[in-house]
Structures are given as C-alpha cells and as structure tokens.
C-alpha cells in the first residue's frame, strides 16, 4: 500500500498545497486543512481460534467535519499505515464536498489480512474496533462504510456492537449494510451509474450525441458493469473491456468491434469481475493483451480497475480519437500522464467527481436510516442523477469560465467549500 518512495499522504498534501495557492487561502486555513483534525490509533486484542491472543492495530482518522459528520470506509489490509488512512480521509473530505453532500472526510482500518482469519476472528476484530472508538463515531459524528476487504457482514457486526454499547437502534451509524437490514436500494448501481450521469452531461455540453460514441473500459467489476449497462442503455457502444485473469495471472482485453453484449459477458464473468477467456472466444470476442484497452479507436476511455493505469509510458498510445476519459477507479492517471492529456485537450472527468456516486448513495442510505423510511430504487437513482448532474455542471462551468483543467476545477470547488465552512464556523 505504501513504499518508502510513495507516501500517499505527502501526495494528498502536495495536491492540497497547489490548490490552496490557486485559491490564495490564508495561512491558518491551509494549516488546518492540510492535516486531519483528529486521529485515533488503538490496539484490538482478539482471542484467536487456537486459544492464543493476537493484538491488531486499528485506526480512524477524521480529516475534517466542518460540513457534516465524517464519512469514509474502514479497510482491512496487512500493509495499512496511518499515512494511507490520513490521505484517504483527506480525499473523502474533497469527494463529499465536490458533490455537495453534508458530510466530511474520514477513513479507518485495521492492519490484518482477512484471507487468513476465520469468520469468528473477523467478527472479534470488527467488534473490538467499535469498542475502542465507540465514543468518537456515530450517526452525528463519523459514519464508517465498507472498503478494501470489508463487506456488509463486517458492517453489520460493527453496527451490532455500536448498538449494544449505546443501548438502542442506530442504523445510521454505518453504511454499506445489506438491503433489508438498513441498506439502500440502488447502492450496487450507484458508482457506475453516477459515472455515466457525469459522462452523459459532458457529451451533452460538447454537443455530442451519445449514440454516436464508442468506449473502451478497463475493469469489469461492480463499477464497470453498471457503467457499461447505463452507457449501453443510453445508446453508447462499448467495444472492449479488459479484466484480470486469475488463472493466467495477467490481464486481457476482450474486444468485439460491433459492440459487446453485456448480458452475454456477464453470464461468463466470475464474482471477482474476471471474464472466462475460452467462453469469450466461443462467443466471438477477440482476446488481446490486457493493456490494449487503452489503445482502441474510441471516443471515450473508462478506467475502472486500479490506480496508476494511465502513465508516462503508455499515455502516448491513446488514440487521437479519444476526447473523453471518465475515471471510475481512484487515481488511475499519474500526474505526468495528466499533463499530456491536458495538452491534448482530452476532457477528463476526475475520479473524485466521476466515482462519487457511491458515497452519495451511502449518504442516502444514512438519511433513510436516520428517518427509518426507505425509498424505492427509482427514487434513489433519480436523486443520485440530480446530485451527480449538478456537481458535474458546477465543475465544468468553473473549468470553462476560468479555462481550467477539469481536475483542477473540481479540487478548487471542493476545497473552497470546506475552507469557507471552517471560516464561517469561526475555526480559523
Ligand atoms: P471490483 O473488485 O468489483 O472489480 C475490479 C475489476 O478490475 C475486476 O474486473 C478485475 O478483473 C479488474 N482488474 C484488476 N486488475 C486489473 C488489471 N491489471 N487490468 C485490467 N483489469 C483489472 O472493483 P470495483 O468495486 O468495480 O472498483 C473498481 C475501482 O473503482 C477501484 O479503484 C475502486 O477503488 C474504485 N471505486 C469503487 C467504488 C464502488 O462503489 N465500488 C466507489 C468509488 C471508487
């Protein structure tokens, strides 16, 4: 997660410093916003299945809660570090702010590898995490969610422990719960659909008919599958998709120039988003090397797999036809590649705007839980569309007016809102 040469918190602070300079923020505001407001680090002793005791390290970082309770995932990872959590919590502040939901930024985690832990041991970690931090989290303070290697079951264990400690039902304490147990309809679709709402608006603003466009997608997991679904429903044509092949330990690109058939591909895809190579060949797909998703003759690229996928060494392989990149993954484009895309006038919908549909729907989950009344799926998706569309419009209008790159415009809007709120509250 973090090597000696790459410290995500240094990166997050450098990004912030650049925008703080553009916004000419006062020193006090800069000093406050470049650090998390609160950080908790604690131990979680667990009685293991073999009778021994193992002590795990837990974190929760609340970067800023001026705009509302902190919000962000709890991840389980053997290489988790406090600096990773700090960076992710700061990015959550900007993400919630750019879509203008009344939440701040938080993140947490436990240093552990769930692959090597029984369900009982994982449950003890979840309950232990809550016991250590129960007084500092809650529906009005800080609302956790699933993240890397945590799921809805972990969220339910955490919720149950929180409710046991506090003596009541507080379903708004945590999001990412299963539908029927406090989860929101539409959460599964939210990130992929949210991305396509922003893409639809970008094309509309450029006077491009979506039905005349072609796209190539990296990744075929939750975000990609729903992004392709809605893009296809709106009339777009996806011609290639890449994904990881666990057996061959490499990635492949699956291409059908006439347009992929989503249902056909879903039928031969495993739960990790891996497409069966032999069956895809039988269905008439060309199987190409993994990195070729980026080299296709398309109008739109949608990276929805991993970070650092468009970089200095491959950015020049992007076809001159590509005019839009909608970033579903977090951090798919390196700063060097970003400069190239900027100079080529590619319209980039930056990650923390394009993939904010997930957190926006988590916010809806929290709202529904707090009032104990749940909306129909159509209502959730309609509200999501409204939020994503207005967030996109605000960013693109600023970019147009001030001739800014979309990523810079998004950061300016997000950071400016938080800066104004910490000042309005009289904190600085
Ligand atoms: P997922 O685990 O469901 O799917 C990941 C996909 O990426 C799989 O199809 C996998 O085969 C593919 N993949 C992995 N390595 C690859 C490689 N080297 N080349 C090509 N494909 C590769 O994940 P997801 O939930 O769809 O998330 C995708 C990205 O979006 C991640 O960066 C995640 O952090 C980000 N994101 C997700 C959400 C959400 O709500 N799921 C929200 C915000 C951001």
Q: Is 183 helix (H, G, I), strand (E, B) or coil?
A: strand
Give the tens place of pLDDT for each residue, 209-250.
999 999 999 999 999 999 999 999 999 999 999 999 989 999
Q: Quick check: 23 pLDDT over 50?
A: yes
- Asked if 183 and 221 count as a contact pair (C-beta separation under 8 A), the reply is no
Give the tens place of pLDDT for each residue, 288-307.
999 999 999 999 999 999 98
Give the tens place of pLDDT for each residue, 317-357.
999 999 999 999 988 999 899 999 999 999 999 999 999 99
Ligand 1 lined by 380 (C-beta under 6 Å)? no
Task: Give me the chain's average pLDDT, please.
Answer: 96
Task: Give the confidence band of 11 by pLDDT, cuts at 50, 70, 90.
Answer: confident
Report the pLDDT averaged over residues 386-396: 98
Report the pLDDT averaged over residues 373-383: 98
Q: What is the pTM of this model?
A: 0.94
107 as an active site residue: the answer is yes
Q: Quick check: 49 pLDDT over 80?
A: yes
pLDDT, position 272: 87
Kindly report the protein residue whose alpha carbon is nearest to atom 36 of ligand 1: 329
Residues 6+ apart with CB under 8 A from 354: 194, 195, 198, 199, 326, 327, 328
pLDDT, position 1: 46
- CB-facing half-sphere around the CA of 209: CA atoms within 13 A: 3
The catalytically annotated residue of 107, 177, 256, 387 is 107
Strand spans (E) along 327-420: 347-349
Ligand 1 lined by 106 (C-beta under 6 Å)? no
Q: How far is residue 66's CA from residue 74's CA, in Å, rounded to a whole number?
A: 21
Residues 6+ apart with CB under 8 A from 358: 187, 190, 191, 194
Burial 363-398 (b: 16+ CB within 10 A, else e): bbbbbbbeeeebbeeeebbebbbebbbebbebbbeb
333 C-alpha to ligand 1 centroid (Å):
14
Q: Quick check: 206 pLDDT over 80?
A: yes
Give the tens place of pLDDT for each residue, 120-172.
999 999 999 999 999 999 999 999 999 989 999 999 999 999 999 999 999 99
- Asked if 428 and 29 count as a contact pair (C-beta separation under 8 A), the reply is yes
Angle, alpha carbons 159-40-128 (nearest 5°): 40
Q: Quick check: 3 pLDDT over 50?
A: no
220 C-alpha to ligand 1 centroid (Å):
7
308 C-alpha to ligand 1 centroid (Å):
13
Task: Report CA 194 to chain centroid distance, whole Å.
Answer: 11
327 C-alpha to ligand 1 centroid (Å):
11
Mutation test residue for ligand 1: of 88, 219, 327, 356, the one with most atoms within 8 Å of CB? 219
């Amino acid at each position: 997660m973090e090597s000696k040469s790459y410290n995500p918190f240094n990166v997050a602070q450098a990004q912030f410093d650049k925008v703080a300079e553009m916004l000419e923020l006062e020193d006090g505001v800069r000093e406050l916003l470049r650090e998390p407001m609160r950080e908790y680090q604690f131990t979680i002793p667990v009685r293991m299945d073999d009778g021994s005791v193992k002590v795990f390290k837990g974190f929760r970082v609340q970067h800023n809660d001026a705009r509302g309770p902190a919000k962000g995932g709890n991840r389980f990872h053997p290489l988790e570090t406090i600096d990773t959590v700090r960076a992710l919590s700061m990015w959550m502040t900007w993400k919630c702010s750019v879509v203008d939901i009344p939440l701040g930024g938080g993140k947490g985690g436990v240093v552990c590898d769930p692959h090597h832990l029984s369900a009982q041991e994982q449950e003890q970690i979840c309950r232990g995490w809550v016991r250590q931090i129960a007084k500092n989290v809650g529906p009005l303070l800080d609302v956790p969610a699933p993240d890397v290697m945590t799921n809805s079951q972990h969220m339910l264990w955490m919720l149950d422990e929180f409710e046991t400690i506090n003596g009541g039902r507080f379903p708004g304490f945590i999001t990412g719960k299963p539908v029927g147990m406090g989860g929101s309809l539409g959460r599964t679709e939210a990130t992929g659909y949210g991305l396509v709402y922003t893409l639809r608006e970008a094309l509309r603003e450029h006077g491009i008919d979506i039905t005349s466009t072609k796209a190539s997608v990296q990744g075929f997991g939750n975000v990609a599958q729903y992004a392709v679904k809605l893009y296809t429903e709106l009339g777009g044509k996806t011609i290639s998709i890449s994904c990881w092949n666990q057996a061959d330990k490499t990635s492949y690109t699956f291409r059908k120039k006439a347009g992929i058939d989503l249902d056909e591909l879903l039928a031969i895809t495993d739960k990790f988003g891996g497409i069966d190579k032999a069956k895809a060949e039988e269905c008439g797909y060309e199987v190409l090397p993994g990195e070729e998703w980026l080299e296709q003759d398309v109008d739109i690229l949608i990276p929805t797999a991993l970070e650092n996928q468009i970089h200095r060494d491959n950015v020049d392989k992007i076809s001159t036809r590509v005019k839009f990149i909608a970033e579903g993954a977090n951090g798919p484009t390196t700063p060097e590649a970003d400069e190239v895309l900027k100079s080529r006038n590619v319209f980039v919908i930056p990650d923390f705007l394009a993939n904010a549909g997930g957190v926006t729907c988590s916010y809806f989950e929290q709202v529904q839980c707090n009032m104990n009344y749940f909306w129909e799926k159509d209502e959730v998706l309609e509200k999501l569309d409204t939020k994503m569309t207005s967030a996109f419009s605000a960013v693109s209008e600023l970019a147009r007016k001030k001739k800014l790159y979309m990523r810079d415009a998004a950061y300016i809007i997000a950071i400016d809102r938080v800066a104004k709120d910490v000042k309005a509250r009289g904190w600085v």
